[in-house]
């Protein structure tokens, strides 16, 4: 039976909603995975946690995607290496930050990286107003942490470095997307990241604590929640959502991280802290909208 125009219109309305829910689901999975990753630090340390996450994700993505390695050009390998480097450094800095500061604080500071990138590439002056609002939110966040018992400057520095790496990762992803089909580049980069971190991780981890079922199950859980599920959900959503809508939804990460830190890790940031996260999130959404509005052709 052919679909009537009413049913086609209803289906068209449902598709963006379901795709948007996939983006939100990806953010929830990623931030809950980050919260569980904190439990790995005692046994594996930050670099060990990054290695196990990359290993689990690399194996699963490698089996699922089966990227073609033969015949790759030198340029393609270079793109995969750049993606691997930015992804690994981003995760290493982020986990180092998580070992010192709350999850919501770390993600909020990290989100400044993509925000600053969107402001820099935007041709609209209003984008700089969003940047001022975002940094005001971060300053308020720092004040709230100072009142709550002090702020770790090293942890904040790692979060800033993670944000810079996130911006570099976005650029590297764009370059890799031109060289690989689907998520082949990401699968290769994840495996390269696991191989690069393996020697240091195997030397630095506490082997007595690492060789337990609890750590093994937790490491697999973190790899699946932080990488495999979010990557898959985001890939599906990108096929049905406009890039601007996808970018705006990803700006909700600080809010999701604050909730995950509160529920999983019992990290409460206080009224000022949550207000600061709201300001940074609003600034991120505004900056993304400004950037995409500048690229949109005039009618």
Per the structure block, which two tokens stand in for 138?
């971060």
When mean pLDDT is compared across 73-82, 89-98, 169-178, the lowest value belongs to: 169-178
203 located within any domain:
yes
2 located within any domain:
no
The number of beta carbons lying within 10 Å of the beta carbon of residue 170 is 14
pLDDT by residue (tens digit) across 124-152? 677 778 888 888 888 888 888 877 777 78
Rounded to whole angstroms, how far apart are CA atoms 43 and 204? 10
pLDDT confidence bin for 34, thresholds 50/70/90: very high
When mean pLDDT is compared across 43-57, 227-241, 277-291, the lowest value belongs to: 227-241
The pLDDT score that the predictor gives to residue 259 is 92
Higher per-residue confidence, 179 vs 25? 25
Higher per-residue confidence, 113 vs 165? 165
Average pLDDT in the chain: 82
125 located within any domain:
yes
Rounded to whole angstroms, how far apart are CA atoms 18 and 205? 41
The pLDDT score that the predictor gives to residue 286 is 81
pLDDT for 8 beyond 50: no
259 located within any domain:
yes
Task: Provide mean pLDDT across the span 161-175.
Answer: 85
Q: What pTM value is reported for the model?
A: 0.85
Rounded to whole angstroms, how far apart are CA atoms 186 and 54? 11
pLDDT confidence bin for 3, thresholds 50/70/90: very low
Residue range(s) defining the domain that contains residue 291: 29-295
The pLDDT score that the predictor gives to residue 103 is 93
pLDDT for 294 beyond 60: no
- Percentage with pLDDT > 90 across the chain: 27
For residue 201, what are the contacts with CB-CB under 8 A and spacing of at least 6?
Answer: 44, 45, 47, 48, 50, 51, 52
121 located within any domain:
yes
pLDDT for 179 beyond 80: no
pLDDT confidence bin for 13, thresholds 50/70/90: very low
pLDDT confidence bin for 106, thresholds 50/70/90: very high
pLDDT for 95 beyond 90: yes
pLDDT for 69 beyond 80: no
The pLDDT score that the predictor gives to residue 5 is 37
Task: Provide mean pLDDT across the span 97-108.
Answer: 92
pLDDT confidence bin for 123, thresholds 50/70/90: low
The pLDDT score that the predictor gives to residue 16 is 63
264 located within any domain:
yes
Task: Provide mean pLDDT across the span 167-180.
Answer: 80
pLDDT confidence bin for 31, thresholds 50/70/90: very high
18 located within any domain:
no
Higher per-residue confidence, 84 vs 242? 84
For residue 219, what are the contacts with CB-CB under 8 A and spacing of at least 6?
Answer: 40, 44, 49, 52, 53, 56
84 located within any domain:
yes
**Number of independent structural domains in the chain:** 1
- Percentage with pLDDT > 70 across the chain: 87
């Amino acid at each position: 039976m052919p679909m009537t125009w009413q049913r086609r219109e209803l289906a068209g309305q449902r598709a963006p909603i379901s795709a948007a829910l996939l983006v939100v689901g990806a953010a929830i999975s990623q931030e809950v995975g980050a919260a569980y990753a904190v439990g790995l630090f005692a046994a594996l340390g930050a670099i060990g946690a990054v290695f196990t996450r990359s290993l689990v994700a690399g194996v699963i993505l490698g089996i699922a995607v089966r990227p073609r390695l033969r015949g790759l050009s030198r340029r393609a390998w270079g793109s995969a290496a750049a993606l691997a480097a930015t992804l690994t450094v981003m995760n290493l800095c982020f986990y180092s930050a998580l070992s010192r500061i709350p999850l919501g604080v770390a993600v909020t500071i990290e989100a400044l990286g993509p925000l600053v990138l969107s402001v820099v590439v935007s041709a609209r002056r209003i984008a700089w107003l969003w940047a001022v609002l975002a940094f005001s939110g971060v300053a308020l966040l720092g004040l709230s942490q100072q009142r709550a018992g002090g702020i770790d400057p090293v942890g904040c520095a790692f979060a800033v470095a993670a944000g810079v790496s996130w911006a570099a990762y976005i650029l590297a992803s764009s370059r890799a997307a031109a060289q690989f089909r689907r998520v082949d580049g990401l699968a290769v980069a994840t495996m390269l990241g696991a191989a690069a971190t393996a020697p240091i991780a195997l030397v630095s981890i506490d082997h007595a604590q690492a060789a337990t079922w609890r750590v093994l199950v937790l490491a697999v859980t973190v790899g699946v929640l932080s990488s495999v599920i979010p990557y898959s959900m985001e890939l599906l959503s990108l096929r049905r959502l406009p890039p601007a809508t996808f970018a705006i939804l990803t700006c909700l990460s600080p809010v999701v991280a604050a909730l995950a830190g509160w529920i999983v890790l019992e990290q409460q940031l206080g009224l000022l802290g949550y207000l600061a996260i709201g300001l940074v999130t609003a600034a991120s959404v505004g900056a993304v909208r400004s950037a995409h509005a500048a690229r949109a052709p005039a009618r």
